[in-house]
Structure 1
């Protein structure tokens, strides 16, 4: 009998404190660079017991991004790792089913978890199949995160084998071509938005699948493709094309369908974004800025592409510009917001961090990074929950920091057995 067949499942949590709405869930992660790790971090931030697997000789490249925090112990770690790898246990395991010891450890872990998240793409080369995992744990929810999808839900094989990173997913989805200005080359949204969107799609899909497990006792696949995740957040582009043959175009910061909806440069060189959609908001901003509704009727100067692009619409746009160029961004923001008009100054991260409103909402938390040993600060828990809030119980772990304790307490391996695995390079 195989080891995983002899094991009894140990309820979660074993290693993590009890908190949040997900404390009875245990998650196993095989993934690198943003999407997989961030999805797992969302579970960890809200109480799930998360075990991340890294290769002993090839750790997650996420650790080595720049900028980095330098520790007094001579160790450095990336700011990205500090933010998105907290609340996890770290096991360094050579996840290759051709190595008998690796297979035994990996499948024993599968027996003990509720969710397996992967964004490795090449899992078949490692000898891992969904069917293999379900034989070990029929209740397992399997989450596949990829760029272009996997065969179970259709598609063309050669497309599924394409490499994909965040800009690739944005380009393939149609999202990138809509970013930027019409007279310039298209761009893409920075800050890895595609990675974070697909991670959140996976997170929501896994939660739905876990709900089904509660009712049926049967696990299932949750499959999210980065390109499709970006397609899903593209507003009405698909219905506009499929039903009207209408292709939206990139338009920069100036919204073409109404005004004022734009980003303006102000007297102090800072920028402000205004969004006054609808006739009530339009009337309010016109009154606030002392502009004449008689001279600039809403439907003739502000509603619809033709009105915005008309001579009258352009004249109104110039009037708005004249106001902002003679006032600082903060002056304009204070005036507009005091009159219930949507406006915001474009801020740096430093300005957001120092904003009293966001500080008083406790958006930043401090904890000890386990690689450098330093106290670090990062963005905290979101969403906020009144009865079962999230919590940061530990900083991002060092490579293999929890290998021994997980193999011993969860899988029942002795110190001698673990030492033998280390000698063979199976674990670290």
Structure 2
């Protein structure tokens, strides 16, 4: 690992802290307060994903604790569903969750059902209504056509084995329901990140998402800098500064090689972070297209780097074929990189400023390359014209 890569990983690891979220006082700013479903709920929070909101009152009763819950989220479609549940396992995840799922019935009246999410659900089996060991009473739901939000409420009685100081809860939204069977939700990072561990007594929530957030940002930023910015600059140097008036003693070659080595080091570091993210959670394996193109980019870039040792000598008869291969792979690599960076934007969904900043970088580099390309062809044209004029003058001289 290069020194630069080590520094980057240290900086990335410093971002891996857990951000805590705590309860707020319920007011009209929460959607379920306006619907009248808040009941006597006093503690509310906006959850980190899917625009969801949660209200909760915890009663430390014996032998079983009691919790009043109100949950609200915007439906992807009027036929969609919302879900909130708790998982008694060690980790906040979909499998093992005891869920409340609300949706609009064909009659237009919303309803709430209980569901036990098992490993079979993840394999694609139908998720049908089923009893759960958590006591559920006073279920109701309310749908607002104006806001598109569906709100559900219930009182839960938790079995003694549920750890109220570290209670895993999960929330989700989906596009449609058929015969009380919800369809699969979208496979975006927001959907995968909709898990948390919460302390009911203090209201502090810890999200696993924040352990990976710094690595995601590092992966995206380093990919843009290494693959998306520096590598094209190295190509521009090779293409347009070779043989230029400012070039001397193969300066263009050393600058080109230096830039490409730095770009490759940063890019491979970003790729390594991506592999680390994939190993941390299987959820990242859902983005197969981005993953395959990333592997292809690293393989082709490695081939390009091998040119330092495998390039034929200038007098070698195979040198011209190697040049064709090297240029073709290089330009193909840039095209793949641009496609994959935009795929990454679609996955991470950063603020729009990041995407437009990269578009600005691409436009700037394209304008520089276009200007230099035009200058090359103008210079070629005038050189050709000068050669023709010189040949014509020699012809006249010889005839005279």
The TM tier, using the shorter chain, reads under 0.3
Q: Greater strand percent: which structure?
A: 2
- Find the structure with the greater CA-based Rg: 2
Higher RCO, Cα 8 Å, sep 6+:
1
Q: TM-score, normalised by structure 1?
A: 0.20
